[in-house]
Amino acid sequence: MATVNKNLSHYDQSTIPNAANMRFGIVVSEWNSEITDNLYKGVEKALLDNGANADNIVRWDVPGSFELIYGATLMGERLDVDAIVVLGSIIQGETRHFEFISQAVAQGIKDLNMQIDIPIILGVLTDDTLQQSIDRSGGKHGNKGIECGIAAIKMAHLRNQFSDEE
């Protein structure tokens, strides 16, 4: 696993743009909610720790990880946000369902990043076991949500730099 020697919560705050004037959308899967709620807390912490206003963080819940694609699409169309983070947890089971959903979600978010002018950060854990998900959503490997929040700030800043030049 790529996170074996990495803590997902560590970053150098001096390298992060101030998020005070940015608005963020977060779409959260209700499936495996004990994991996705922890991921959300990580994103929210990263955003607030780097200057975001709590009123500029919008959360929408969707039933599962597959629905993150439509949730992000709708959010991008309906809300004025600088970046969107999608959060899900897909845990390997006994069938190939895991592979199909993981692939579809990654492809769907990739496609959205090419279609709309809002960065969408993929924060979907794809783990073999529940313990691996726990370890990556606030456990011994930190919280992937924090990493996603930092990515959202950086990508929103990049987008806004180019918007300011026009």
Residues labelled catalytic:
97
State the DSSP code for 54: G
Could you give the CA distance from residue 67 to residue 86 in angstroms, rounded to a whole number? 10
- Torsions phi, psi of 137, nearest 5? -120, 40
* The residue type at 4: V
Nearest-CA neighbor of 88 among 58, 62, 115? 62
Q: Which residues contact 90 (CB under 8 A, 6 or more apart)?
A: 32, 65, 98, 101, 102, 105, 124, 125, 126, 127
**Which residue spans within 8-107 are E strands per DSSP?**
24-29, 57-62, 83-91
